[in-house]
Structures are given as C-alpha cells and as structure tokens.
Amino acid sequence: MSTYDPAALECLAAIVEEGGFERAAQRLNVTQSAVSQRLRALEAQVGSVLIVRSRPLRPTSAGQLLLKHTKQMRLLRADLERDLQELAPSPRGGGREEERISIAINADSIATWALDALHDLVRQRLPLEIIVDDQDFTQEWLRSGQVLGCVTTLKQALRGCKMVPLGAMHYVAVASAAYAEKHLPGGLTAHNFREVSYLSFNRKDDMAAEFVARAFGLKRVGLNHLFVPSSEGQLHAVRASWAVGVMPELLVRSGLADGSLVDIAPGQSLPIQLCWHCWNLESEVLDQLTQALTEAAERSLTARA
C-alpha cells in the first residue's frame, strides 16, 4: 500500500477547507506554486484527479477518501498530543492551525445546548472547528469525510461510523406580543396560517412548513418566508415583529416567561430527534466529544420525541 506524504495530504485538505489554492497557500505558509506542485504529486501518486476545478472547488471521490484519511490522521495526532501533554505539560497547547478537529452541528443546537457541552474540551485547548448546517444535512459533511462527527436527525449509522441518540429538541411557534395581537389575535389556525410570514434559515429549511402541516393535519403547505441564517438572528427578528418563528423552546423559554413572546399555537410542538454520529475509531478525543455531547443533551433535551 502506498505511503502518502503528510504535507501533501494537508495541502489537499487546505485547498478543500479554504476553498482555493491561494488561501491554502496562506494557511500553510507556502507559495501558491508549492501548493499546486504538492497536489499534482499526490494526484500522480494516486493516479486520479483529486480536485474538481469548479466554483466552488470540490474534491472528487478519490479526493474525499484522502480527505477522510487526513482527518483521521489529525485525530490520531490530537490523541497523541493529549497523551504527551499529560506526561509533560507545557504552555504551548492546541494543535497546528491545519490540524483542527472538525465537527458539524446544527445552528439551533449551537444556540442552545451544544456550546456548553464543548466548554471543558475547549478549555483543554482542543483545536476545535464547528461547521454549521441544517440538522437534516450535517451528516453529508461526515459522509464526505470533512468532519469527524456531526449532530443530525439521521437515525441510521453511516458506514464506518457509530451513532448515539441525543434526545428531542422541541420547536414551538412564537411571535412578539405586538405581532400576535395585530396579526393573530386568536392564535395560529388552519384558516389563517397563510396570512403571516415565517422565518427560515435558508431555502432548504422546512421547519416552519413541517410544524404547520403537523399542527393542522395537512400534507403540504406553502408559506411566505423571510430568510435569516442564524438562530440568534431569528430570535431578534421575532422580537422586532418581522414574522412568526418556529424555534426551539429552549431558545424562547425566557421570552415566553416574561411575556415578550407569545406561543401562537398553544399545545402544539414539533419534536426533532437528534443523534450524534462519529467515526468508529478508538480515540480518546472522540470518546470525550461523545461523552460531553451526550451528557449535555441529557440535561437539555427530552428523552423521546
């Protein structure tokens, strides 16, 4: 089996992660010509093109396999760094910039419970990178080898990975008190839900439509959306009376308690079951990430959807 140059593998990863040759060169502190040479040498060794020169750049199937291998090597080095740190503590801490430990988490989990879960690991100088995406799509980052773990709604473990159920995050429909009084004085119903706008992260976010369909027993609904790609930003927009927000109860709990926000569909909630997926490897770093996330989820999420 071929032995691949670690510098070339990190070069490939830098091109994909930075989205181009110039930024990869800046991160690796080498010339852009050196980046191209390393990639060409790696492609010659593999016998296959590894990067599709498109906009944006993307790895080929062979490139994805090597990218996954590179991430696994980073994980092994992170485990070694932690073991050596215990034997001979030093003030250096952290890994090299190109050796970040990447995980994918949905924005609502980041805004509510997940950051608290990772607090101790960050204080231990784990070189963490969090990639945000919709909970229905974070597994694609893991499937392509770009992260070593993800929080997702997928319940079946991916090949070569293990899965741990985290619990359910419950979503409720809320509006500012002023918006509710003006537009929905009787609350959200099957007859008026099309008369208001709903906040969404982007065009692939179907949370609001799923909530309305489930609440009123409908198969398909069409809604008027305003797009705000941030959980905290959506909360700000709801408070500013932009639209209705279908948001985690964890995030709006204080607003409901003080009356600044109104539950416009009392008794209705949409439970979204979350799971943690990660590579099935023996790794202290992975074990600690898994333990931290599952313990935090037990405190914040409900056991069943």
Is the confidence at residue 97, as pLDDT, over 60?
no
The pLDDT tens digits of the residues spanning 227-276 come to: 999 999 999 999 999 999 999 999 999 999 999 999 999 999 999 999 99
* Domain span including residue 83: 1-89
Predicted local confidence at residue 55, as pLDDT: 77
Is the confidence at residue 91, as pLDDT, over 90?
no
Greater pLDDT, 138 or 82: 138
For residues 174 and 264, state if they share a domain.
Answer: yes
C-alpha to C-alpha distance for 132 and 9, rounded to whole angstroms: 24
Crossing angle of helices 284-300 and 61-87, in 10° steps, is 90
Q: The domain spanning residue 243 has which CATH number?
A: 3.40.190.10
In a domain, 27, yes or no: yes
The domain tally of the chain equals 2
Q: The domain spanning residue 26 has which CATH number?
A: 1.10.10.10
Predicted local confidence at residue 93, as pLDDT: 47
DSSP H helices in the chain: 6-18, 21-28, 32-46, 61-87, 107-109, 115-123, 138-143, 177-183, 207-216, 231-239, 249-258, 284-300
Domain boundary among 89, 115, 136: 89
Residues 129-153: what's their mean pLDDT? 89
Predicted local confidence at residue 281, as pLDDT: 82
The pLDDT tens digits of the residues spanning 59-79 come to: 898 888 888 888 888 888 777
In a domain, 302, yes or no: no
Domain boundary among 62, 89, 116: 89
In a domain, 115, yes or no: no
pTM of the model: 0.75
In a domain, 304, yes or no: no
The pLDDT tens digits of the residues spanning 272-292 come to: 999 999 988 888 888 999 999
Domain boundary among 42, 64, 89: 89
Secondary structure letter of residue 175 according to DSSP: E
pLDDT bracket for residue 47 (50, 70, 90): confident
For residues 262 and 173, state if they share a domain.
Answer: yes
In a domain, 214, yes or no: yes
Mean of the per-residue pLDDT values for the chain?
89
In a domain, 117, yes or no: no
Predicted local confidence at residue 85, as pLDDT: 64
In a domain, 132, yes or no: no
In a domain, 101, yes or no: no
C-alpha to C-alpha distance for 164 and 8, rounded to whole angstroms: 34
